[in-house]
Amino acid sequence: MVTEFVQSNGIRMAYQEFGDADAPVVLLVAGLYNQLMRWPMEFCDLLVAEGFRVIRFDNRDIGLTDKMDGAVAPSLFRLALSSLLGIPVKVPYSLNDMAADTVGLLDALDIKSAHIVGMSMGGMISQLVAGLYPDRVLSLTSIMSKTGAFGKGMASFAVARQMVKPIPRGTSALDNSVKTRQMFGSPAYLESDDDVAVAIKAEFKRSDNPAGYLRQMAAIRSAPNRDKLLKSIAVPTLIIHGNQDLLVDVSGGVETKKQIPHAKLVRFEGMGHTLPQPLLAKFADLIKQTADSTLNSVS
């Protein structure tokens, strides 16, 4: 598959697209330190079969999109302290900047509006796009994400600790990454360690930028509560969340539904913080239903 590049918000962004160029667009926004391939090709194909033009892309600081080299993020400890005490901290960029990148990609591709689908951090970015750029969004799907409300969508202690602790002596970066991803995997749809390792190796081979992880994490941790903005979202909204999500607790999805008028929440038993292959067709169908409700609301 071909990776193409455009200038967006002053950044050279990498993207891939599939389907009929004249079809309604589904724009897939990836999560923290997730390259565009975290949106499985099977899922993209399912959305194309539903009649969409599908675009997936690398956020800033990840994959083949420009890195913000030279910008130093605060330590995770300082970020946690600032969040706890409510003291602002200077970060290299914000989630709002990443939302502007997303809209800039639409501009560069001459796309007036799209169905925005985001997972995890990408869900946060998608919420901002829907709230700040309402004329660019036909529908919103927020997957395993949260609103920024205190105490909602929190990681379990074990997962939070694993995400920030140094790699143990004698453990490879690959093995540590496999362990981390398996900790917040979907218990009813567990992948083998070997399959997860193959996927992570492909990501490492394509691009590896640990400093980008810290800068993206800083954008998340410094983001304010989006409750007020979410109340302004008027487009059809779908929220998908797993009941066994140990990275972003399901309370994050419940709170998102509470704040967005008329949003629909679909919870999946046995789903953690992954996109389980057996559920991909159901996700695509739900997104199509949400998109169709957009057409019904304007007819």
What confidence tens digit (pLDDT) does each residue in 33-84 have? 999 999 999 999 999 999 999 999 999 999 999 999 988 888 877 777 776 6
Q: Is the pLDDT of residue 16 over 90?
A: yes
Tell me how many domains the chain contains: 1
CATH code of the domain containing 205: 3.40.50.1820
User: What distance in Å separates the CA atoms of residue 276 and residue 294, rounded to the nearest whole number?
Assistant: 26
Task: Let me know how many helices (H) and strands (E) the chain has, helices first.
Answer: 11, 8
Region 231-240: mean pLDDT is: 98
pLDDT of 299 reads 38
Give the range of the structural domain holding residue 8, as residue numbers without chain letter.
4-298
Query: Around 38, how many Cα atoms within 13 Å sit in the side-chain half-sphere?
Result: 25
pLDDT digit string, tens, across residues 150-184: 899 999 999 988 888 888 777 888 999 999 999 99
pLDDT of 245 reads 98
Is pTM beyond 0.85? Reply is yes
Q: Is the pLDDT of residue 297 over 60?
A: no
The token duo for 212 is: 């980008």
Q: Is the pLDDT of residue 119 over 60?
A: yes
pLDDT of 295 reads 59
- List alpha helices for the chain, DSSP H: 41-49, 76-85, 95-108, 121-132, 157-164, 173-183, 193-206, 210-221, 227-230, 251-259, 280-298
The type of residue at 113 is S
Mean pLDDT over each residue of the chain, to the nearest integer: 94
Closest CA to 53 of 9, 97, 8, 110: 110
The owner of tokens 């950044």 is: 11
- Quote the percentage of the chain above a pLDDT of 90: 84
Angular region, 110: left φ>0, alpha ψ -120 to 50, beta rest: left
pLDDT of 80 reads 72
